[in-house]
Amino acid sequence: MAAITFSDAQFKTIGDIMYEAVGLSYSDSKKSLIQSRLAPRIQRLGLEGFADYIAILQDETQASEFQMAVDLLTTNETYFFREPKHYELLEAELSARKSKEPLSIWSAASSFGDEAYSTAMLLSDMQISGKIGPEWSILGTDISHRVLLSAKEGVYPQDRLRDVSADRLRRYCLRGEGESEGQSMVHEKIRSRVQFGQLNLCKPFEGLGPFDVVFLRNVLIYFDAPTKRDVVDRVLQTLKPGGLFFLGTAEGRAQCDTPLITVQPGAFRKVA
């Protein structure tokens, strides 16, 4: 099948649409990436080319297809207990708390839920051992409706659980059999502790928090510098003074106006 042509003007139009709607920012070097991600979708829909697809993206009645485009243009690679030193720090910090007051944690770019459920497993263990009280909750948000539906189901290829200890797998996961062989489902007692909701971090939001801990890992790579700063400051407004804030280790220091103290690579404390 012949390749679908993708002009510079069409690339700019799609870039403008995605930036305005969800804050995604693409340099000129990303043109081939966008073409490779969207061309198969255009062919599957039976469209003539990118011009027809752009018309769909600009049609407010085609929200589901716009969401599909967002899914195709973002990478949702993740796995359980990614960057384990962050979880070690979280456990140490929560164990050192003198009170057993309720805990509230936000996974602000939760993708398929691996991060949120990893945190829930840790907190469940800490509750059982008496290090924290019984009142704790986790919120996971993402812009993608598709990944949120998957997160709520809590079913994962077993490779995504490769860093979960054998003991936690036994207590918190159900191994699939028959047609579900090779997959595992997070147990209801963990899934019930995590609520998921759709949220665009690039737009103003209200009613969230205050949180004791916020994860914002491996999502800022999609934004330009001004959007990164706006997103980080907006998210940090929901974090309690003294609370922990996590970025991906490779993302460096958070560029923001909110005062932060570096605790370790990718981990920060909001100044009281």
94 is in an annotated binding site: no
**Active site annotation includes 224:** no
Instruction: Give the separation between CA 110 and CA 142, rounded to whole angstroms.
Output: 6
Do 137 and 24 belong together in one domain? no
Instruction: Give the separation between CA 191 and CA 202, rounded to whole angstroms.
Output: 27
d(CA 162, CA 107): 21
Residues 108 and 50 in one domain: no
Q: Which residues contact 57 (CB under 8 A, 6 or more apart)?
A: 14, 17, 65, 66, 69
Spatial strand order in the sheet of 183-186: 155-157, 183-186, 173-175
pLDDT digits (tens, 9 = 90+) for 85-131: 999 999 999 999 988 999 999 999 999 999 999 999 999 999 999 99
Residue 63: pLDDT band by 50, 70, 90 thresholds? Answer: confident
**Residue 58 banded pLDDT, cuts 50, 70, 90:** very high
13 and 115 share one domain: no
Percent of the chain at pLDDT > 90 equals 74
Say whether 115 counts as a known binding-site residue: yes
Asked whether residue 251 is domain-assigned, the answer is yes
Q: pLDDT tens-digit profile of 1-21?
A: 467 899 999 999 999 999 988
pLDDT band of residue 70 (cuts 50, 70, 90) is confident
75 pLDDT above the threshold of 80: no
- The CATH number of the domain holding residue 237 is 3.40.50.150
Looking at the 3D structure of the chain, how many domains does it have? 2
Residue 149 lies in a domain: yes
- What predicted TM-score, i.e. pTM, was given to this entire model? 0.86
3: in domain: no
Whether residue 141 is annotated as binding a ligand: the answer is no
- Residues of the domain holding 48: 8-73
Q: What is the pLDDT of residue 115?
A: 97
Contact at 8 Å (CB) between 123 and 131? no
Out of 8, 16, 28, 37, which one is annotated catalytic? 37
Query: Among 142, 168, 212, 230, which one carries the catalytic annotation?
Result: 142
- 37 catalytic residue (yes or no): yes
Check the annotation: does 142 bind a ligand. Answer: yes
228 and 97 in one domain?
yes
